[in-house]
């Protein structure tokens, strides 16, 4: 992805909107007793479209904003989302993406990893209560949500930054062959 100021502005708007929607909508709805978390999927999308640097920087920025708005210790969410964005970007740089399922699958896997990461950050500072195995079920359900929501997010963001994508196939108009003497 070629990062022009216009494209960066679009990414910033998408990131801001993603965080606000997460806090005011997705975190407050439940399906099967679990709230979807779209932020790892959003960072994965940035990583897949822009590469490891875009993924890591967007992960840091989105995590920072999340921690600011929830008045949490700064840096915890950033740390996890940097890893998610960088991993998605590295995947894109190392492998060719042939299937349409790659983006949603990666969203699901890395959302699960992000939830483990959030748990690890919390564990770093000490968890003094019981942890139910149901937390794993919740994380798996969140991954399933991330598969479907990640799909939509990837398609939407890809469309939004299409002019900047270097691997976007140019639509060529078929031209009639020139017939000499006609």
Shortest separation between residue 115's beta carbon and other proteins, angstroms: 6
CA distances to 121, 133, 141 from 137, rounded to whole Å, are 19, 7, 6
CB-nearer residue toward other proteins: 167 or 180: 167
Q: 133: alpha, beta or left, given left = phi > 0 and alpha = psi -120 to 50? A: alpha
Q: How far is CA 140 from the centre of its chain?
A: 17
Shortest separation between residue 148's beta carbon and other proteins, angstroms: 14
What single-letter DSSP state applies at residue 28? G
CB-nearer residue toward other proteins: 26 or 148: 26
Shortest separation between residue 6's beta carbon and other proteins, angstroms: 22
Separation of alpha carbons 131 and 128, rounded Å:
9
CA angle 131, 38, 125 (to 5 degrees): 35
CB-nearer residue toward other proteins: 24 or 99: 24
CB-nearer residue toward other proteins: 78 or 157: 78
The owner of tokens 């998610």 is: 84
Q: Which residues bind other proteins (CB under 8 A)?
A: 20-35, 37, 39, 52-53, 56-57, 60, 63-76, 78-79, 82, 86, 115, 118-119, 121-122, 125, 127-139, 142
Shortest separation between residue 167's beta carbon and other proteins, angstroms: 18
CB-nearer residue toward other proteins: 129 or 174: 129
Burial 52-66 (b: 16+ CB within 10 A, else e): bebbbbbbbbbbbbb
Shortest separation between residue 33's beta carbon and other proteins, angstroms: 7
């Amino acid at each position: 992805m070629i990062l022009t100021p216009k494209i960066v502005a679009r990414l910033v708007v998408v990131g801001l909107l993603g965080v606000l929607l997460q806090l005011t909508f997705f975190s407050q709805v439940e399906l099967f007793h679990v709230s979807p978390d779209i932020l790892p999927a959003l960072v994965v999308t940035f990583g897949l479209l822009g590469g490891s640097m875009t993924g890591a920087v967007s992960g840091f920025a989105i995590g920072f904003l999340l921690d600011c708005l929830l008045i949490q210790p700064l840096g915890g969410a950033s740390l996890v989302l940097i890893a998610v964005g960088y991993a998605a970007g590295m995947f894109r740089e190392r492998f060719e993406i042939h299937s349409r399922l790659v983006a949603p699958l990666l969203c699901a896997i890395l959302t699960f990893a992000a939830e483990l990461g959030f748990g690890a950050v919390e564990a770093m500072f000490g968890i003094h209560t019981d942890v139910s195995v149901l937390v794993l079920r919740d994380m798996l359900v969140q991954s399933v949500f991330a598969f479907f929501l990640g799909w939509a997010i990837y398609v939407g963001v890809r469309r939004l930054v299409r002019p900047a994508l270097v691997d976007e196939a140019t639509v060529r108009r078929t031209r009639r062959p020139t017939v000499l003497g006609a």
